[in-house]
Amino acid sequence: MFQPGDLIVYGATGVCRVTDITVLPPSNGQYYVMAPVFAPIAETIYVSVRSKAPMRPLLSLPEAHACLEDFDTLPSVTAVHRDPKQTAAQYQHILESGDCRKELSLLKTLYLKTAAEANTGRRVSQTDQRFIKEAEYLILGELAAVLGQSPEEIKRTLKKSVSIPV
């Protein structure tokens, strides 16, 4: 059970701080009261303590450092489908995994793909743009919270490690 003050990763919401545990009628069940850390607007989220919603603790400091150090050697994600909807489903599955290395591998793939398309004068697909934003929000937010940096600092570090202009 998480405690008030804990930072956790909550599904697609990303890093949240548990601000309280309260009882809400009519069920009289216990609920986590959470606030997203990097959300552009302030909001409060209530989630049942017994919920099967994807909630987990943040990476440990050594895990976060290892993920950053390994970024440039991570393999690229190979799209197994030519259909954009199936590729989007594949990317979504990776983001829902909660696996730092898989998420960073996806982000690296999208960064490199975006850079290659910029060099050839082609536009980045809407699907790729959407998943870059989602992946950055989730994994950069988690790494930033663990390392005490901003998501932008983490982004600069990652792009620099694979020689992509910031």
Which tens digit of pLDDT belongs to each residue from 23-64? 988 888 899 999 999 988 889 999 999 988 889 999 999 999
Q: Final residue of a domain: which of 57, 76, 97?
A: 57
Q: What is the pLDDT of residue 118?
A: 84
Residue 19 lies in a domain: yes
29 & 45 share domain: yes
88 & 13 share domain: no
Residue 166 lies in a domain: no
Specify the pTM: 0.89
What amino acid occupies position 98?
G
Helix spans in the chain (H): 61-70, 84-97, 100-120, 126-135, 141-147, 151-161
User: Residue 58: which of 69, 50, 67, 49 has the closest Cα?
Assistant: 67
87 & 132 share domain: yes
What integer is the mean pLDDT of 83-106? 90
Domain that holds residue 76: 61-161
Q: What pairs with residue 17 in β-bridges?
A: 7, 35
44 & 100 share domain: no
Residue 125 lies in a domain: yes
Q: In this predicted structure, which of 40-44, 80-84, 158-162 has the lowest mean pLDDT?
A: 80-84
- Asked if the model's pLDDT at residue 141 lies above 90, the reply is yes
Residue 76 lies in a domain: yes
- Asked if the model's pLDDT at residue 84 lies above 90, the reply is no
Residue 2 lies in a domain: no
118 & 90 share domain: yes
Residue 1 lies in a domain: no
